[in-house]
Chains A and B, each alone.
Chain A
Amino acid sequence: MKIIVLVKQVPNTSEIKIDKLTNTLIRKGVESIINPDDLAGVEEALKLKSRYGGTVTCVTMGPFQAESMIRTLYGLGVDHAYLISDPKFAGSDTYATSTILSSFLKTLEYDLIIAGYQAIDGDTAQVGPQVAEMLELPQVGHLHAICGYQDGVLQVEREDETEILTIDVRLPALVTTLRRMNTPRLMNAWDAFRATSKPFTLVRFGDFPVNELKIGLKGSPTQVSKTYTKVLVQKAPIEKVDAKEASKKILALLYPYLGVK
């Protein structure tokens, strides 16, 4: 099975700080990590490879510093990686990003494309589905599990708010994965040692056909007009009373919503 995983390097948002003057993320000194939903996709891809054979290829778009992420992916056992990087791609919103990714993916062979459900730095959950649409592929999003593969059909479980759906999807297809569906493996020494010198392919503007008017900051339909930090206002009153008194007061506040007397 030829599997492509779309991955993104993101700042570790659990350590994020906001510059209070400019209201932007302070990226300096913040560790970069593989987006957790994407890493879950890599893990699923590697599991599928070990069960059914094939190759795992990662495709990422971003600045050159993503090379460090590619080294780590190689250390996990990924076979090959493409880094799509060009000043013309900078500033792309999700739609422009999906345009670039899908245009490039048309030049590769694949049976399955896996994308993380969403990235922790944007939380849009748009790129996976958009890429599937642009490539006219069937898609199943928000996966809880990949169960098996037989005769060109992948059996997956999709997680809903209230239920788990078991779905058979004929490949080629695109699925999106959730970080909680697995525990990513640790690198192994064999692959980690070779990773440092293992080549990856740098993909620039001009290396594949793409509509120049639909990419980058100018080609992006989304324009962020303003970013600001939410100001949290304490609305609930605070009273210092003993536990018995407190429980009475809380109950009194809740009664109107409980429908009981």
Chain B
Amino acid sequence: MKNALLTELFQKFALQYVKPLAREIDELERFPQETVKLMGTQGLLGLTIDQNYGGVGASTADYINAVRIFSRYCATTGVILSAHTSLCVDPIMKYGTEEQKAKYLPRLASGESLGAFGLTEPNAGTDAASQQTKAVLDGDDYVISGSKIFITNAIYADIYIIFALTEPSLGTKGISAFIIEKGIPGFSFGAKEKKMGIRGSSTSELIFDHVRVPKSALLGPLNGGFGVAMGTLDGGRIGIAAQALGIAEGAFERVVEYVKKRVQFGKPISAFQNTQFKLAEMRTKIRAGELLLEAAANQKDNGENYNESAAIAKLYNSRIAVEVVDDAMQLLGGYGYIRDYEIERMYRDAKITEIYEGTSEVQKMVIAGKVLR
């Protein structure tokens, strides 16, 4: 269930701090550090964290609502929050020991630390089981070597959940998850990626060159990392489904405004059936996406298995985001193609939602797997 006052806060925060920066951070490919800092002081980075650990104790539905509302104005801000919450906070809450929770959650809740997640490697994308990063036991420590690519929040994060082979002969059953902090010797970053969309978000390679971590950095069971990764990505998919829906809603809001004002052939183009039918299709897609998203979030909140619902919500919402921004741009015509009108940015931002945190094809594998089980 969504909290009405939190919704009011997200909306105010979005209008006051997120919207005004959206264009600038896209153009300059600048990470909005000041917004992230403010998100921390307003409690937005600790929405799902238990109150015992300094969090808000709100529901997945509330957190999803924040990602969705921010993404209406700026998809970059949406994904920063989503990666932090779904991919770092969530696995620590779900798989962390009491010591790990007490150590990391208060920092993540207050915004002192930002979270990130590293699974993908140059040769392990959809085939996540082909990990090459290794963690070798040496006395009481693990020594991690390898690299992770396309990591969201990369250089601005402080706490990372990363995956490495602890038993290479066992394949997926030999992967473990680790909590790594920025600044430890041997841990560095590759070049910043230049992206088509969400250009304000920080995306880089994480490089581990004999990074020594104690056994206590292990998150979840030894060799149980694949389960941690898959469980975490289920939650991440709801976050990206929310981001995608937000992008679609943002484009829809702007196109509705535009067609009422744009006059051609002596009347606003909203008077034409082509416009009306397009708007009706867009609205229907958005409404359907909203129901799928909320169903998945509520299932997670109720402790039910939401693996399939999350895949469906992400598959559908990422597709309709791409379709809705495309239709919106067509209705705006030449103006839509001009940067001043924001649809151009949304058009570029939407596509990534079909790719990251499991491509649409991965979502289909998950869904079909359930169907054919």
Residues of A within 8 A of B62 (CB): 193
Determine the distance from Cα of A188 to Cα of B42 in the docked complex, in whole angstroms.
4
CB of A187 within 8 A of CB of B9, answer: yes
A75 at the interface (CB under 8 A from B): yes
CB of B5 within 8 A of CB of A75, answer: yes
> Which residues of B are interface residues toward A (Cβ below 8 A)?
3-6, 8-9, 12-13, 16, 41-44, 46-47, 56-58, 62
CB of A193 within 8 A of CB of B13, answer: no
Minimum distance in angstroms from B209 CB to a CB of chain A: 39
Determine the distance from Cα of A72 to Cα of B200 in the docked complex, in whole angstroms.
32
Contact of B58 among A186, A188, A189 (CB under 8 A): A189
Determine the distance from Cα of A186 to Cα of B41 in the docked complex, in whole angstroms.
10
Residues of B within 8 A of A186 (CB): 9, 12-13, 16, 42
CB of B9 within 8 A of CB of A75, answer: yes
Indicate whether A193 sits within 8 Å of B5 (C-beta atoms), given known contacts A186-B42, A188-B42.
Answer: yes
Determine the distance from Cα of A82 to Cα of B8 in the docked complex, in whole angstroms.
23
Determine the distance from Cα of A49 to Cα of B43 in the docked complex, in whole angstroms.
19
Determine the distance from Cα of A110 to Cα of B44 in the docked complex, in whole angstroms.
33
Q: Told that A186-B16, A187-B5, A189-B6 touch, could you supply 8 new A-B pairs with CB distance under 8 A?
A: A75-B5, A75-B8, A188-B41, A189-B42, A189-B46, A192-B3, A193-B58, A196-B3
CB of B43 within 8 A of CB of A72, answer: no
Minimum distance in angstroms from B321 CB to a CB of chain A: 26
Residues of B within 8 A of A187 (CB): 5, 8-9, 12, 42
Residues of A within 8 A of B8 (CB): 72, 75, 187, 192
Indicate whether A195 sits within 8 Å of B5 (C-beta atoms), given known contacts A189-B56, A189-B58.
Answer: yes
Residues of B within 8 A of A190 (CB): 43, 46, 56
CB of A189 within 8 A of CB of B47, answer: yes
A144 at the interface (CB under 8 A from B): no
Cβ contacts A to B, 10 pairs, < 8 Å? A71-B5, A189-B9, A189-B42, A189-B56, A190-B46, A192-B3, A192-B8, A193-B3, A193-B57, A196-B4
Determine the distance from Cα of A75 to Cα of B42 in the docked complex, in whole angstroms.
11
In this complex, the member of A71, A189, A193 whose beta carbon has the largest number of chain B beta carbons within 10 angstroms is A189
Residues of B within 8 A of A195 (CB): 5
Minimum distance in angstroms from B73 CB to a CB of chain A: 16
Determine the distance from Cα of A187 to Cα of B46 in the docked complex, in whole angstroms.
14
Determine the distance from Cα of A232 to Cα of B58 in the docked complex, in whole angstroms.
53
For A4-45 the 0/1 string (1 means CB < 8 A from B) is 000000000000000000000000000000000000000000
